[in-house]
Amino acid sequence: MALEEGEDRGDRRFTTAARDLLGGTRERLGSGGDGDAIMGYLFCLPNVAVFSLFLLGPVLYAFWISFQQWSILQNSGTWVGLSNYAEVLTPLPVTAEGLNLVVFTDPSANLFWWSLKTTLVYAIGTVPLQIYGGLAVALMLDTRVRFKKAYRAAYFMPVMLSGAASAVMWRWFLSADGVVNNLLPTFLEHNWAGNPSYALGGVMLMAIWGGIGSNMIFFLAGLQNIPQELYEAARIDGASAWHRFRHVTWPNLGNTNLFVIVMAVISAFQVFGIALVFSEGGPYYATTTTVLLIYQRAFEEGKMGVGAAMAFILFLIIFAFSYYQYRHHQSGEIEY
Amino acid sequence: MDGGRSAVGSPTEPRRGRRGGSLMARSSYEYPGYERSGASYWTKTTLLYAVVTLGALWMTLPFWWTITTSLSQNPTAASVSFIPEAVTIQHFVTLWERPDIMLVRWFLNTMIFAGAVTTFNLAFDSLAGYALAKLDFVGRDKLFLLFMSTMMIPGMVTLIPVYLLLVELGWVNTYQGLIAPLIANPFGIFLLRQHFKSLPSALGDAAKIDGCNEFQTFYKVYLPMAKPALATLGIFTFMGAWNNFQWPLIIAGEQNMYTLPIALFAVRNQYFAEWGLMMAAALIIVAPVLIAFLAAQNYFIRGMSLSGMKG
């Protein structure tokens, strides 16, 4: 960011110089600061309109809806205070009598806590493998490998797939008599989509498959930006390959790392389409993630208020995580 | 940031980074003690290629299985693994002929949806990107920050209120309902702003001396120079809309408004275990994107790596 501000200043200095050179021309042409201002607002207007109508406004509207009992027929709500939040959150995992962890293990106790646990398991199981799988591939392809472009294309192919298409494909490959079981040794064969213990594993496998390619691209771009002199200097000081990675590559990938982690976690917490198409939240709620639950409550059962309340709780969790990551990253930033 | 800026150029022009052209990084083997021979070198190289190739197979085999399944008469795990048996195009013919599968309509819906979203995005984002890069007005940098911060809003929070808004407008099950919420995108503004910033302001000043007004300066001078960035953003936006599942699922409730991913989901529920048919349907969605990717690989990869340069 510091660099960018520098450019900004340079750019402005350049413009000012040009204006000095032009003397009064600008005034005469009537395109001075005021003209700039009007055109500037005019040019930004479509985006401001779309963002306030479809992004910022709706966030406030969603907050309001979460306190309403919504009637689909009249498309209006009646104020019910916090009762939507109460419906979503009770029974709480922590009560006066102590911990009540059954909400995490039994979907019939409270589906929201169960779905949060499912989402968390999904995030913990997929995010590290997507990110560090991507980093590993990027490091391997950043060396002098032949057919680099073909390899890169191969790893990138799953990224371009629609979630719906990929879920339908993997449902077939992972079915009881599908291709994957055919290749696996007998003791690893599972009915991936039909067994509550393994269905989430199937979704995670598919997500890891689709997530490595984009992270690989981010890390390849990050690796390109590391000055080669740093490696030269490290070599002269006798650093081994591991030390060059640990003390040159890794610290220099800090920004890429932050971005990749935040994006991967945000999208993991919002996993929806692949879980819906793969197994429709089942079997026995095994793949009911939080956004899938929101979808079912709001759009299948018409409980918009309850859906909005759940969405807001999830929003707070995502926001808290991103903020923590950002602060944590700032404290560990390096300066040269 | 600097890398991001220089990378916005045409994908065909050589990369200006330290690794391009004559500034190619020195590989390990140019240093003493890292000679390109010996048992250790060969073990390492073989291992590297083995791992990379295995990974690449894992990434690409599912595509091959999809093709072989869609071409098999009675697909079973054994018959589709590597070479299909009893090749037939019957599943594609079935998709075409079943009266409840409106293949052409769904394909057109998806084209209209993705095409309109892309067009609006390019128009709106280039206007805003230009203003934020080249015009001077009060609150410009704050506005840019505001645009960027909307990127942090998770899509599922706005899903319910936007749907209810469109119900109020009577836009459910219409093209405008499908398209409207997606016509602006902060990432596009960021990308184009960076690109316009990299172009010299003197061009605009010269154009104004020649009598161009502000809009003509933008449209006739700067916009043509942003073509590579526009192409990157366009391809990326089109692909995103083509694959979008969540929004069309909610707003396109009736069969005649389905886009292809939604149609695939509906067809899956109806013809559940007919895997040959399912894979043929999946292939119809995947094939256009895949062909476009193989034809313009650099634009796709550039778009992806630029979306990682925001921070």
pLDDT of residue B22: 39
pLDDT in tens, B109-133: 999 999 999 999 999 999 999 988 8
Q: What confidence category does residue A26 fall into, taking pLDDT thresholds of 50, 70 and 90? A: very low
3-class secondary-structure state, position A98: strand
Q: B182 and B54 in one domain?
A: no
Alpha carbon of B305: minimum distance to chain A alpha carbons (Å): 5
In this complex, do A228 and B18 lie within 8 Å of one another by their Cβ atoms? yes
pLDDT of residue A180: 82
Residue B140 lies in a domain: yes
Q: Which of residues 305-334 of A touch B (CB under 8 A)?
A: 307-308, 311-312, 314-315, 318-319, 322
Q: Quick check: B128 and A37 CB within 8 A?
A: no
Nearest to A44 among B131, B285, B297 (CB): B131
Contacts of A256 in chain B (CB under 8 A): 308
Same domain assignment for residues B136 and B248:
yes
- CA dist B262 and B279 (Å) reads 15
- Residue A310's pLDDT is 92
SS (H, E, C) chain B: CHHHHHHCCCCCCCCCCCCCHHHCCCCHHHCCCCCCCHHHHHHHHHHHHHHHHHHHHHHHHHHHHHHHHHCECCCCHHHHCCCCCCECCHHHHHHHHCCCCCHHHHHHHHHHHHHHHHHHHHHHHHHHHHHHHHCCCCCHHHHHHHHHHHHHCCHHHHHHHHHHHHHHHCCCCCHHHHHHHHCCCHHHHHHHHHHHHCCCCHHHHHHHHCCCCHHHHHHHHHHHHCHHHHHHHHHHHHHHHHHCCHHHHHHCCCHHHCCHHHHHHHHHHHCCCCHHHHHHHHHHHHHHHHHHHHHCHHHHHHHHHHHCCCC
Nearest CA in chain B to A2: B1
Minimal CA separation from A304 to chain B, in Å: 7
Query: How high is the pLDDT of residue B147?
Result: 86
Q: So what's the pLDDT on residue B56? A: 92
Measured torsion, CA atoms of residues A131, A137, A143, A146, in degrees rounded to the nearest 10: -150
Same domain, B60 and B209: no
Q: Are A157 and B63 in contact (CB under 8 A)?
A: yes
Q: Does residue B81 sit in the same domain as residue B210?
A: no
Contact B81 A179 (CB under 8 A): yes
- Contact between chains at A14 and B200 (C-beta distance less than 8 A): yes
Model confidence band, residue A155 (pLDDT cutoffs 50, 70, 90): very high
**Mean pLDDT, chain A, as a whole number?**
82
**Amino acid A193: pLDDT:** 78
**pLDDT on residue B121:** 93
The chain B residue lying nearest A210, using CA atoms, is B59
Structural domain count of chain B: 2
Segment (H or E) for A166? helix A163-173
Q: Does B17 touch chain A (CB under 8 A)?
A: yes
Angstrom CA distances, A263 to A218, A317, B152, stand at 11, 14, 9
The two three-digit tokens of residue B52, written as one number: 């990379």
Q: What is the CATH number of the domain that holds B188?
A: 1.10.3720.10
Nearest to B157 among A33, A48, A311 (CB): A311
What whole-number distance in Å separates Cα of residue B277 and Cα of residue B267?
A: 9
B127 Cβ under 8 Å from any chain A Cβ: yes
Instruction: Answer whether B59 sits within 8 Å of A213, measured CB to CB.
Output: yes
CB-based contact, B124 to chain A, within 8 Å: yes
List the single residue in A with minimal CA-CA distance to B247. Answer: A273
Residues 90-119 of B with CB under 8 A from A: none
Q: What is the pLDDT of residues A217-276, one digit of tens each?
A: 889 888 888 888 888 888 888 888 888 888 888 988 888 888 888 888 888 998 988 999
Q: At A68, is the secondary structure helix, strand, or coil? A: strand
B245 touches chain A (CB under 8 A): yes
Is B151 at the interface with chain A, CB within 8 A?
no
**Positions of chain B with pLDDT under 70:** 1-37, 77-81, 307-311
- Partner A contacted by B83 (CB < 8 A): no
Structure tokens at A35: 């003209």
Q: In this structure, is residue B13 part of a structural domain?
A: no
A267-295 pLDDT, tens digit per residue, is 899 898 899 998 888 788 888 999 999 99
Q: What percent of chain A has pLDDT over 70?
A: 88
A3–B135: do the CB atoms touch at under 8 Å?
no
Q: Which residue has the higher pLDDT, A63 or A15?
A: A63
- Inter-chain CB proximity A43 and B130 less than 8 Å: yes
CB distance from A177 to chain B under 8 Å?
yes
- Chain B hits for A31, Cβ within 8 Å: 208, 213-214
Whether B194 and B222 share a structural domain? yes
- Nearest-neighbour CA in chain A from B81: distance (Å): 6
- Compare CB distances from A162 to B135, B243, B279 and report the shortest one's residue: B243
User: Does B83 lie in the same domain as B116?
Assistant: no
B175 CA to chain A: closest CA distance, Å?
A: 16
Residues 215-234 of A with CB under 8 A from B: 217-218, 220-222, 224-225, 227-228, 231-232
Is pLDDT of A7 > 70?
A: no
- Predicted confidence at residue B95, as pLDDT, reads 82
**For residue B23, is it within any domain?**
no
**Are both B230 and B155 inside the same structural domain?**
yes
Q: How far apart are the first and last CA of chain B?
A: 8
Contact A7 B160 (CB under 8 A): no
* Residue B229 touches partner A, C-beta closer than 8 Å: no
Q: Quick one: B78 and B109 in the same domain? A: no
Residue of B nearest to A214 (CA): B304
> What ipTM is given for this predicted complex?
0.80
Nearest Cα neighbor of B1 from B261, B209, B175, B190 is B190
By residue range, what is the domain housing residue B46?
A: 37-88
> Do B52 and B168 belong together in one domain?
no
Q: Which residues of B touch A255 (CB under 8 A)?
A: 311
Residue A233: helix, strand or coil by DSSP? helix
Is CATH 3.40.50.720 correct for A102-331? no
Q: Is residue B12 situated within a structural domain?
A: no
In A, which residues are within 8 Å of B239 by CB distance? 160
**CB spacing of A54 vs B158 below 8 angstroms:** yes
Q: How far is B102 from chain A (nearest CA, A)?
A: 18
Give A95→chain B minimum CA distance, Å: 29
Residue B81 with chain A: CB contacts under 8 Å: 179, 182-183
Residue B28 lies in a domain: no
A32 reaches B (C-beta below 8 A): no
The whole-number pLDDT of residue B15 equals 43
Q: Where are the domains of chain A?
A: 2-79, 102-331
Which of B31, B63, B80 is closest, CB to CB, to A157?
B63
Angle subtended at Cα B236 by Cα B235 and Cα B240, rounded to the nearest 5 degrees: 115
Examine residue B17 and state whether it is found in any structural domain, yes or no.
no
pLDDT tens digits along B83-117: 777 777 888 888 888 877 888 899 999 999 999 99
Listed range (A49-63, A160-174, A181-195) with the worst mean pLDDT: A181-195
SS3 A226: coil
